[in-house]
Amino acid sequence: KCNGRAYIGDREIGNVTPAIIDYANNHQLPIRLVVEDAYKCLGTHIDPQQCEVEEIIGEEYLLPPKPFPEAMAYSIIIDDVTYYEYILLRTKERFEDGTVVFTNEAQDLPFRITIRANPLTGNVNFTFAITGRSNSHHLKYSRFLKAARSNGRLKVHHLERDKNLLEVNCTAAESGEYMERLDSEIAFLENVIVIERYFGITIDIPEHFTSEDVELVHYVADIIQGKEIRNGWTKYETSMTIESRTKENITASMDKPYSLTYVGSATANIFGHNLTYPFIRTLLSVKLENPEKIIRLLEILDEGDDIKMVFIPGSDTVSGEYVDRLGDTTTGKLTNEVI
């Protein structure tokens, strides 16, 4: 027979009753027993030999809590769109007011989800924590967050039983400005991932970056997806290698505007990555700024020499229009145009 003290954590609990055991199991806390006094009996009589008893006086014994059932597979759905296809949720803790806490801590994923649900009151609270740096996971979370913030209908669906563990309305009301920022974040992450996949790289987005960084990401992503980017220009300077028909071609086009196309490659620096891709830029209407000077230079330069040329819009406007697009092949002299 033993006498001593019982603890949950550092708190002494007195007698170990069924209620105490339920509390320890619900909060997954071990009960610690400290033996202060003990004696051995033979039947109903005290054994005169108490040598073995002396060895256990002062010892501590732990009663582990009864574990909750193993994790089960769920999907997380908002408005019939599945945002997380396979989440292993397991009960972590039960509270006296009926609240139950579920987590996916046992699952090796770069994010943690915690669900606090009270079936008595109908209150449900979700907490997400992104633990990985993958832009794909951040994008998935941002899309989920947008759906949740848009007051969608959320379901936690048990995959094996084909029934919902929870089904609630998301009631978080956000401002229009917040939702616009979330849309911008989603579009930015989508384009970062487009760039990662095209170039086979991983981009670490810094904590702080500029609006120019964002614009460059959108520009490069649009180009490599085959979109045309139109913009304005006022002056274009380039070098041209003189060939046998250069003078003839320039002389024939001196009196009328024409288009000018650069075919080569461009390099963009995206968060420390210098990314080069085939590139075509077409200035839709150009003319030489000083054609007479170019003609005089062509008279004295030899074939194979380089000549600097300055172009201005061919129309009577201050600015012209150019079109950028992805090049299929690179022909002629390749030079890197750094954006």
Residues 241-294: pLDDT tens digits? 888 887 777 777 777 788 888 888 999 999 999 999 999 999 998 888 888 888
Q: What is the DSSP letter of 271?
A: T
179, 149 Cβ separation under 8 angstroms: yes
Q: Which is nearest to 112 in space by CA: 124, 120, 100, 104?
A: 104
Question: Which amino acid is it at 197?
Answer: R
What pLDDT, on a 0 to 100 scale, did the predictor assign at position 53?
64
Q: Give all strands (DSSP E) within the chain, no chain letters.
A: 2-8, 11-12, 31-38, 41-42, 45-46, 60-63, 72-78, 81-94, 100-103, 111-118, 123-130, 153-158, 163-169, 229-233, 236-241, 258-270, 273-288, 306-313, 320-326, 336-338
324, 337 Cβ separation under 8 angstroms: no
Block residue for tokens 């054994």: 47
| Residue count of the chain | 339
Q: Map residue 303 onto helix, strand or coil.
A: coil
What pLDDT, on a 0 to 100 scale, did the predictor assign at position 58?
65
What pLDDT, on a 0 to 100 scale, did the predictor assign at position 222?
96
- Within the chain, which residues score under 70 in pLDDT? 1-2, 36, 38-58, 172-173, 329-339
Alpha-carbon dihedral angle through residues 264, 267, 268, 272, given to the nearest 10 degrees: 160
What pLDDT, on a 0 to 100 scale, did the predictor assign at position 331?
46
Ramachandran angles phi, psi of 336, nearest 5°: -85, 120
Token pair listed for 110: 């770069």
How far apart CA 152 and CA 169 sit, in angstroms, is 6
Block residue for tokens 């006086």: 57
Q: Which is nearest to 185 in space by CA: 142, 132, 152?
A: 142
Q: Map residue 71 onto helix, strand or coil.
A: coil
Q: Is the pTM of this model over 0.85?
A: no
What pLDDT, on a 0 to 100 scale, did the predictor assign at position 204?
93
Q: What is the DSSP letter of 301?
A: S
Token pair listed for 213: 């960084």
Q: Map residue 253 onto helix, strand or coil.
A: coil
Token pair listed for 130: 């992104």
What pLDDT, on a 0 to 100 scale, did the predictor assign at position 96?
92
What pLDDT, on a 0 to 100 scale, did the predictor assign at position 214?
96
Block residue for tokens 């600015």: 319
127, 145 Cβ separation under 8 angstroms: no
Block residue for tokens 């006498």: 3
Per-residue buried b or exposed e for 188-212, using 16+ beta carbons within 10 Å of the residue's own CB:
bbbbbbbbbebbeeebebeeeeeee
**Cα dihedral sign, 105-106-109-113:** negative
How far apart CA 241 and CA 237 sit, in angstroms, is 14
The CA-based diameter of the chain, rounded to the nearest angstrom, is: 128
Token pair listed for 16: 């170990």
What pLDDT, on a 0 to 100 scale, did the predictor assign at position 330?
46
How far apart CA 83 and CA 316 sit, in angstroms, is 54
